[in-house]
Amino acid sequence: MEKSISISRRLFLFILSMILLPLAISLAANYMTWVRTKENIEITLKLESWIMIGTILDSDLENLELTYKKKPLKNIAKIKWSIINTGSKGISKFENPPVITYPKDINIAEVRISDKSPLLQVSNDLTLNAKLRTIEINDLGIFNSEDFIEIDVYIIDMPESVIPLDFL
C-alpha cells in the first residue's frame, strides 16, 4: 500500500513539475505580454505656450491704445494648445466632436488651427460658443496614433488675477 501511495505521489509531482507548472508559467507570461501590448486610446491636451501679446498698464502716455476690431482692450494673450493622440490606437470616428471648455472669467476673441499632422483631415472650422464657454473641433477625420492639432486661442481683457506675475 505504501508503494502505491509513493508511486502515485511521484507521478503527481512529475505531472505537476513537467506539465502543469510550465503551462501555468507560460499562461502568466502570455497574459502579461497581452496586458502590456493591449491597444489603448488616449488623448493628451498640452499647453505649448502662453504669450502676452499686449497689455495696457497704468501709463502716462495719453495716446496709447490697444484695440481689437476697433474696440479698446486692456490686454490680449495668445495661448497655444496641442491635442495629441498619445494612445497606441487611432480613432476613426468621434461620437461627438472634441470640445475644450474654458473658465468663466476668460473672454476668447478668436480660435484657429495653426498646425496639424500632415495627413490629418480636419476642417479649419472651430466653433466658439461663448454662452457654453466651449471650443468645438469640427469634422475631425481619422485621428491616428501620434497625430496632433495645434490650436491658437486669443484671449482678451483677461482679469489681472489670472495673468502670471512675470507678464505684468
pLDDT digits (tens, 9 = 90+) for 53-97: 877 766 667 777 888 888 888 888 898 989 898 888 888 877 888
pTM over cut 0.95: no
- The pLDDT of residue 21: 58
Domain boundaries of the chain, sorted by first residue: 1-38, 43-167
**pLDDT range class, residue 38, cuts 50, 70, 90:** low
- The pLDDT of residue 17: 61
Average pLDDT, the chain: 78
**pLDDT range class, residue 140, cuts 50, 70, 90:** confident
- The pLDDT of residue 18: 63
The helix (run of H) or strand (run of E) holding residue 109 is strand 107-116
Q: Is residue 35's pLDDT more than 90?
A: no
User: Highest mean pLDDT range out of 12-16, 41-45, 78-82?
Assistant: 78-82
Nearest CA-CA partner of 132 in 100, 98, 90: 100
**Close Cβ partners of 89 (under 8 Å, ≥ 6 residues apart):** 39, 40, 41, 145
Q: Is residue 150's pLDDT more than 90?
A: yes
CATH architecture of 43-167: Sandwich (2.60)
Separation of alpha carbons 90 and 98, rounded Å:
15
**Is-contact 141 97, C-beta < 8 A?**
no
**Is-contact 41 91, C-beta < 8 A?**
yes
